[in-house]
């Protein structure tokens, strides 16, 4: 007997008494061989005593031997793709009677694909202007800047103060801070402006509530600063020597052309990623099918773990955060469900279009990681095979190729 509601299924299964008795006999014989009971040599205790003294053991073993086997047989017979672990309940196990139980579980739903080859998306190749290239060259000039020492005098806007800076949690013996700089908090500039090398000062800095480091956000910190020197930034002149210093360029013209191509490639990638995200949203909106809750829970847990890792990187102890799983699920459930639907649809399209990751594609990604980690390729590949990373890499490549397929077949329109 079966019950179906969306992805949720339940089965009521009955195992014939003859099979139950036969399995019970095998289990008791196995226990009998190892059992040690007073007054009997090992393996010689009668089956009746084994039943009496090891009733919970043999019952549990019989259930573990029979239930999974019959469940799997029923799954295959009904062609069910089960996800997660079935919940077993209402177990009826009495001597001389069939073994009956109920199993509740979720299955991967049938997905009827709509037309996904002619989706419309807003997209046009990006522009790169001369002003864009000028800004990039200015960034390169800043990166190549030299800092020249200045004779002692009071600090003024544009100066780079060489400081030792200390607070309750921070101790930096030497750092540079631009007075009046766009990236310098006003409180530092206001308190350091006018000081000369050798001067010391204590002052408070109140960080904004939305400050990038959570451990400082909204807090007031008292600093002790010692001015150790003054430096001025000196930027290189933009000429052929500057171009040659940056790489395999002979002239500024060659540098500008290389920057044009680089900026175009970067912006094209970003524009295409945005278009692909819109295509996935459209794809999800086109299809209505149930999603296994076990997939949704897994996706939410992945999102929470990523957030906790991000907080840890900012110095926040994840153990100090008390998570209410029901609230988290309520707030993130809809987004996680859409993400799961998107993943299932892309997998289904990849299956229909026979899109897959080749061994060469997977090996190229492993080689990139191996070089990054400075480890032998073979060692990294073996480790990835064992811990499941290999499958995740292949899945990621397959998803990227499927997104490329959708983008290539979409109708691109200007806004």
Residue 31 has what pLDDT?
A: 65
Please report how many Cα atoms fall inside a 13 Å half-sphere around the Cα of residue 88, on the Cβ side: 14
Per-residue burial over 144-179, b if 16 or more Cβ lie within 10 Å, else e, is: eeeeeeeeeeebeeebbbbbebbeeeeeeeeeebbb
Residue 414 has what pLDDT?
A: 84
**Nearest-angstrom CA–CA distance, 6 and 291:** 8
Residue 184 has what pLDDT?
A: 93
Q: Which domains does the chain have, with CATH numbers?
A: 2-107 (3.30.70.1050), 146-234 (3.10.50.40), 250-413 (1.10.3120.10)
Distances (CA, A) of 110 to 81, 113, 192, 289: 10, 10, 67, 8
User: pTM higher than 0.85 for the full model?
Assistant: no
Contacts from 108-113 at CB under 8 Å and sequence distance 24+? 108/7, 108/81, 108/83, 108/292, 108/344, 109/6, 109/7, 109/289, 109/290, 109/291, 109/292, 110/289, 111/287, 111/289, 111/344, 111/345, 111/348, 112/287, 112/289, 113/287, 113/345, 113/348, 113/349, 113/352
| C-beta of residue 349 within 8 angstroms of C-beta of residue 116 | yes
Q: Beta-carbon neighbour count of residue 27 at 10 Å?
A: 22
Pick the closest to residue 196 from 179, 221, 172 (CA basis).
Answer: 179
| C-beta of residue 332 within 8 angstroms of C-beta of residue 300 | yes
**Nearest-angstrom CA–CA distance, 343 and 284:** 10
| C-beta of residue 402 within 8 angstroms of C-beta of residue 346 | yes
**Nearest-angstrom CA–CA distance, 345 and 365:** 24
DSSP string, 148-194: EEE-S----TT-EEEEEEE-SS-EEEEEEEETT-TTS-HHHHHHHTT
| C-beta of residue 336 within 8 angstroms of C-beta of residue 299 | yes
Pick the closest to residue 144 from 248, 242, 277 (CA basis).
Answer: 242
**Nearest-angstrom CA–CA distance, 63 and 86:** 14
Local mean pLDDT, 10-residue blocks, the chain (415 residues): 70 92 81 61 59 67 90 90 91 89 92 92 94 96 94 95 90 93 93 96 92 84 95 95 94 97 96 96 94 90 82 70 76 90 96 96 96 94 94 96 96 88
């Amino acid at each position: 007997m079966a019950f179906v509601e969306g992805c949720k299924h339940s089965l009521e299964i009955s195992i014939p008494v003859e099979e139950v008795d036969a399995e019970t006999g095998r289990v008791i014989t196995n226990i009998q061989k190892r059992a040690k009971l007073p007054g009997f040599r090992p393996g010689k205790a009668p089956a009746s005593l084994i039943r009496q003294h090891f009733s919970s053991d043999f019952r549990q073993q019989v259930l573990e031997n029979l239930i999974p086997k019959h469940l799997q047989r029923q799954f295959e017979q009904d062609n069910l793709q089960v996800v997660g672990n079935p919940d077993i309940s209402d177990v009826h196990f009495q001597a001389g009677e069939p073994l009956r139980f109920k199993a509740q579980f979720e299955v991967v739903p049938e997905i009827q694909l709509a037309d996904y080859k002619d989706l419309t998306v807003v997209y046009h190749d990006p522009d790169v202007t001369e002003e864009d290239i000028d800004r990039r060259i200015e960034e390169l000039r800043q990166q190549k800047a030299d800092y020249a020492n200045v004779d002692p005098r009071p600090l003024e806007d544009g100066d780079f103060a060489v400081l030792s800076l200390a607070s309750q949690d921070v101790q930096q013996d030497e750092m540079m801070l631009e007075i009046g700089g766009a990236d310098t908090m006003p409180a530092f500039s206001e308190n350091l402006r006018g000081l000369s090398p050798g001067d010391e000062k204590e002052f408070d800095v109140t960080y904004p509530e939305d400050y990038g480091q959570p451990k400082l956000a909204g807090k007031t910190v008292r600093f002790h600063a010692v001015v150790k020197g003054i430096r001025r930034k000196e930027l290189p002149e933009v000429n052929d020597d500057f171009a040659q210093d940056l790489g395999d360029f002979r002239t500024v013209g060659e540098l500008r052309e290389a920057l044009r191509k680089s900026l175009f490639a970067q912006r094209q990638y970003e524009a295409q990623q945005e278009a692909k995200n819109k295509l996935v949203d459209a794809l999800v909106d086109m299809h209505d099918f149930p999603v296994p809750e076990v997939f949704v829970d897994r996706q939410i847990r992945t999102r929470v773990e990523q957030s906790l890792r991000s907080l840890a990187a900012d110095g926040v102890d994840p153990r100090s955060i008390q998570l209410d799983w029901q609230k988290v699920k309520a707030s993130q459930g809809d987004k996680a469900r859409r993400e799961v639907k998107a993943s299932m649809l892309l997998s289904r399209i990849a299956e229909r279009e026979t899109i897959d990751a080749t061994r060469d594609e997977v090996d190229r990604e492993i080689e990139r990681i191996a070089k990054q980690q400075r480890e032998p390729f073979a060692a990294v590949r073996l480790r990835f095979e064992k811990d499941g990373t290999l499958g995740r890499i292949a899945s990621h490549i397959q998803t990227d190729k499927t997104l490329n397929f959708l983008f290539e077949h979409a109708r691109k329109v200007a806004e």
